[in-house]
Chain A
């Protein structure tokens, strides 16, 4: 019965289809983040950067690079993964996946794997784009990649949950729009939280994005708002929470099976 032990071919089949969808919509998937990142550089880097010359000894242009990558990584992971699973639910093709000899773990692996692959690719493209605008030096490349992967996987899982939960396209947009985007902008992508007045700094510490951006920035520049250990712990906690929710979704068939 070894044929029925696992179904890696199914994981590969779903992964391939998801990646093919990206290539079909390469304009929207890849080029638009590159353009918007360049715009950020022009607006924030050039316009504002000419007034704020340095933060912690780093030029403002370079300072915002990790934040910009995180911003894209988060939004891309969430939108790719949520759309990836929402769409078959919406058009009804999900029936085939539900009726196939695949485990839920395999389904998650395929969808989240594809979404994370895309957002990591986009993150790297943005990094390359940024290198055209500012000189970059990465202090801890291993940790940079580790944070990139961890964040991509965590938020792809989060996006997968949203995609399962959503019953309409409006709901699909709701969480990213109302929660994720504000948290990202308020998460220190474009400033150091040390620059905030005391109360706001404390409030900011409840924002999980702060830890991601901070950890990522540490990997680039070797110092950050909060310590590496705290950043890493918070990221892993969020990852564990997403895994727990997904395990529950699949145990109950929540919004997948009636």
Chain B
């Protein structure tokens, strides 16, 4: 199926002369949760602001469900809901009015029943008549999500949805995002929390210094790039690693009791089975063996460190 969002050759140089995006090419698949992962200042907000029509691009084209965001902006934008990074709300408006406004702004007829459903899903129904200024930060963020959902978007952008959000609410938010995805909404979230990408995403794009350095299926990414470690607890401590095991480039712990073998699945070093065999033939007895896969965090740090 054709991607729901297609970003081709998009770059952005701000008036200050700063190039926030180099040439970005990215396709978002229909119905997926896509995590755009990158450190602060990488260009995540800039990229989604371009797709949503808030920032002008310097070059390139973007289509949303086949509609060009320039020449066919009405069709493109009516499909998109955006929850921006900053909490910006109409302080003196009531919660229900704020959602009704968003719905109208996106050209949808009033539908109190739908607004009620959204408010209930976000646990805001009790607060429907409260002025937004009287709400807590977490509630304000949910109001912003409610506003983005009020016009029944097919695509939802969440810019750092859980930044500064407590653990409880974060879990709720993740559950809500999954439920939305299950209802067919495509979700693009930006984050600099690896945990979030790891927990939520179907695919991960890593952005750094205005460039997409990698786009990969999350499990594939972890499989391909994930380093693994095998730790061997020795029965008798060693002074040095035996010569016969040099090819494995093992790390010996300071107390001599633990050997660590680091390998990745692309196998530029001999496998685990042969290591265990060679350990035996070197006459080393071991008490325990343990393996650990590295998290997306380490993958990410490695990637970001590699690029200039």
A10 engages B55 (CB within 8 Å): no
B52 engages A99 (CB within 8 Å): yes
Could you say which residues of chain A place their CB within 8 Å of the CB of B108?
9
A12 engages B90 (CB within 8 Å): no
B56 engages A258 (CB within 8 Å): yes
B93 engages A17 (CB within 8 Å): yes
Tell whether A93 pairs with B82 under 8 Å between CB atoms, given A7-B107, A101-B75, A253-B56.
Answer: no
A26-49 to B contact mask, C-beta < 8 Å, 1/0:
000000000000000000000000
Could you say which residues of chain A place their CB within 8 Å of the CB of B106?
10, 100-101
Q: Does A91 contact B (CB under 8 A)?
A: yes
Q: Does B73 contact A (CB under 8 A)?
A: yes
Q: Does A98 contact B (CB under 8 A)?
A: yes
B89 engages A93 (CB within 8 Å): yes
Could you say which residues of chain B place their CB within 8 Å of the CB of A7?
74, 107
B86 engages A9 (CB within 8 Å): no
Q: CA A20 – CA B106 in complex, angstroms?
A: 19
Q: Does A132 contact B (CB under 8 A)?
A: no
Tell whether A9 pairs with B93 under 8 Å between CB atoms, given A4-B78, A17-B101, A258-B56.
Answer: no
B107 engages A10 (CB within 8 Å): yes
Tell whether A10 pairs with B104 under 8 Å between CB atoms, given A17-B93, A92-B88.
Answer: yes
A61-100 to B contact mask, C-beta < 8 Å, 1/0:
0000000000000000000000000000001110111111
Tell whether A257 pairs with B75 under 8 Å between CB atoms, given A13-B105, A14-B105, A101-B106.
Answer: no
Across the two chains, which residue of chain B brings its CB closest to A5? Answer: B74
Number of interface residues of A (CB under 8 A): 30
Q: How far is the CB of A164 from chain B (nearest CB, A)?
A: 15
B74 engages A91 (CB within 8 Å): no
Q: CA A96 – CA B55 in complex, angstroms?
A: 12
Q: CA A97 – CA B147 in complex, angstroms?
A: 12
Q: Does B114 contact A (CB under 8 A)?
A: no
B80 engages A99 (CB within 8 Å): yes
Across the two chains, which residue of chain B brings its CB closest to A100? Answer: B105
Could you say which residues of chain A place their CB within 8 Å of the CB of B90?
17, 91, 93
Q: CA A101 – CA B104 in complex, angstroms?
A: 10
Could you say which residues of chain B place their CB within 8 Å of the CB of A101?
73-78, 106-107
Q: CA A126 – CA B54 in complex, angstroms?
A: 41
Q: Does A1 contact B (CB under 8 A)?
A: yes
Q: Does B193 contact A (CB under 8 A)?
A: no
Q: CA A1 – CA B140 in complex, angstroms?
A: 35
Q: How far is the CB of A248 from chain B (nearest CB, A)?
A: 15
A5, A9, A97, A99: the one contacting B109 at CB < 8 Å is A9
Q: Does A137 contact B (CB under 8 A)?
A: no
Could you say which residues of chain B place their CB within 8 Å of the CB of A102?
74, 105
B74 engages A4 (CB within 8 Å): yes
Judged by DSSP, the binding face of A is helix
Tell whether A13 pairs with B88 under 8 Å between CB atoms, given A3-B107, A99-B54, A99-B82.
Answer: no
Q: Does B242 contact A (CB under 8 A)?
A: no
Across the two chains, which residue of chain A brings its CB closest to B110? Answer: A9
A13 engages B86 (CB within 8 Å): no
Q: Does A51 contact B (CB under 8 A)?
A: no
- Kindly name the residue among B84, B90, B107, B108 whose own CB sees the greatest number of chain A CB atoms within 10 A: B107
Could you say which residues of chain B place their CB within 8 Å of the CB of A10?
104-107
B77 engages A258 (CB within 8 Å): no
A95 engages B54 (CB within 8 Å): yes
Across the two chains, which residue of chain A brings its CB closest to B77? Answer: A101
Q: How far is the CB of A50 from chain B (nearest CB, A)?
A: 45
Q: Does B102 contact A (CB under 8 A)?
A: yes
A96 engages B147 (CB within 8 Å): yes
Could you say which residues of chain A place their CB within 8 Å of the CB of B77?
99-101
The A-contacting residues of B in range 76-103, CB under 8 angstroms, are: 76-78, 80, 82, 84, 86, 88-93, 97, 100-103
Could you say which residues of chain B place their CB within 8 Å of the CB of A16?
101, 104
Q: CA A225 – CA B72 in complex, angstroms?
A: 51
B12-55 to A contact mask, C-beta < 8 Å, 1/0:
00110000000000000000000000000000000000001111
Name 24 interchain pairs, CB-CB below 8 A, sorted by A.
Answer: A3-B78, A4-B75, A7-B107, A9-B104, A13-B100, A13-B104, A14-B105, A17-B101, A20-B97, A91-B88, A91-B89, A93-B89, A95-B88, A96-B82, A99-B52, A99-B77, A100-B77, A100-B106, A101-B75, A101-B76, A101-B78, A253-B56, A257-B56, A258-B55
- Which residues of B pack against A, CB within 8 Å? 14-15, 52-56, 72-78, 80, 82, 84, 86, 88-93, 97, 100-109, 147
- Which residues of A pack against B, CB within 8 Å? 1, 3-5, 7, 9-10, 12-14, 16-17, 20-21, 24, 91-93, 95-103, 253, 257-258
Q: Which 6 A-B pairs have the closest CB atoms?
A: A13-B104, A92-B88, A101-B74, A4-B74, A101-B77, A99-B52
